[in-house]
Copies of this chain bind each other. A is one copy, B any other.
Amino acid sequence: MNQPTKKKKVTIKDVAKHAKSSMSTVSMVVNGKGYVSDIKRKEVLGAIRQLGYVPSAPARSLASNRTNNIGFILRESHFTLSEPFYTRIFLGAEFEAKNQNYYVLLATVADDYEREADTPRLLKERNVDGIIIAGKVNSELLMEVEDSGIPFVLVDYQYKSYPSITIDNRNGSIEAVRYLMEKGHKDIAFLGSDIRHPSISDRLEGYQLAMLKAGHQDTKSMTFIDEDKSPTLQTGFDLGMRILGGKRKPTAVFCANDALALGLIKYAKQKKLKIPEDLAVVGFDDVEGGKFSTPQLTTVRVFKEQMGELALRLLAELLDDIPTLNSKFERSNHMLTVPAELIIRESA
């Protein structure tokens, strides 16, 4: 009679006994290293299955000095942001983490980060093997991570020449502007803010490049930037006044992101302008709100999930490579760029 008592945890020892071998052999089978004969391997695998053995994460960590955790650091305001941009990056990372057998620990940090006081627990406790940092974060924090010696990968941001995953903002912008030109537009304006953010300045650059190539020398008079504001709906609305209030009115506007574009559209609609007939608008990011707006927003899609996935993969690679790090043949370029894709909807 089998008693359905509280099933005691099955340990590696039980497996060893059951498979008539040693703990070390079982460990080797589980981790796929060392020398194990095929017969033994099969016996051990069988025992594992029969007993339903699952290794204990903490025990492994303790013995091997690896945590199998990846930290994901994100500014609080990037979560509370109206758009689930970074959330999706996180999701992508989490997805890939499953494949790679990592847990992802999320740590949000305050915007007014202060060293010591706000250091994420996972850093203090060194409870991760590697870290993904998403978006722009306080440089104090960046240095702290750097100092910790824990390998890390940046997403949608760059710092020195540390590994990073960024958007191909320049080419995405060029594609957007070209599309506007194809539609017959000549007076194409650029609308932006917070120009210090590398992503945004790259988008401006793409705009300028495309305009220049098409023979438009004067982009300056068509560039509307409020550099101290963050790129929100409100900012777009406010800049709308400047754009549509001037004497030389553009027929199309390429916006540095979707929130700005939505804000501009709101202002334009209020001024009884028809979109896209009177004013064509293209955004950047492909946020959810753009699908629901009237008209639906034409924009440049950023593959957010994919960026997270890539970041995790790159990090995992880095972690495995560590013994090779001293090699002279070390592949030094770990800065990846993911393409952005024009999504044609109604607003242009």
Residues of A at under 8 Å CB distance from B? 4, 6, 9, 54-59, 61-62, 67, 79-80, 82-84, 87, 91, 94-95, 98, 101, 103-106, 108, 121-122, 124-127, 147, 149, 233, 262, 266, 269, 288-289, 291-294
Q: Are B104 and A106 in contact (CB under 8 A)?
A: yes
Q: Are A233 and B292 touching (Cβ within 8 A)? A: yes
* Chain B residue contacts of A127, Cβ below 8 A: 57, 103
Given contacts A6-B149, A98-B121, A103-B121, 10 further A-B pairs with CB under 8 A are A54-B124, A54-B126, A62-B62, A95-B108, A104-B105, A105-B105, A233-B291, A233-B292, A262-B292, A289-B292
Separation of A127 and B105 alpha carbons in the complex (Å): 13
Residues from chain B with a CB closer than 8 A to the CB of A82 are 288, 291-292
Number of copies: 2
Indicate if the CB atoms of B54 and A62 lie closer than 8 Å: no
Shortest C-beta distance, A201 to chain B (Å), equals 25
Chain B, Cβ-Cβ closest to A265:
B294
Closest CB in chain B relative to A10 CB, distance in Å: 11
Residue of B nearest to A66 (CB): B58
A291 to B147 CA separation, bound complex (whole angstroms): 42
**Shortest 4 CB-CB contacts between residues of A and residues of B:** A58-B61, A58-B58, A84-B84, A58-B62
**A6, A62, A101, A149: residue with the most chain B Cβ atoms closer than 10 Å:** A62
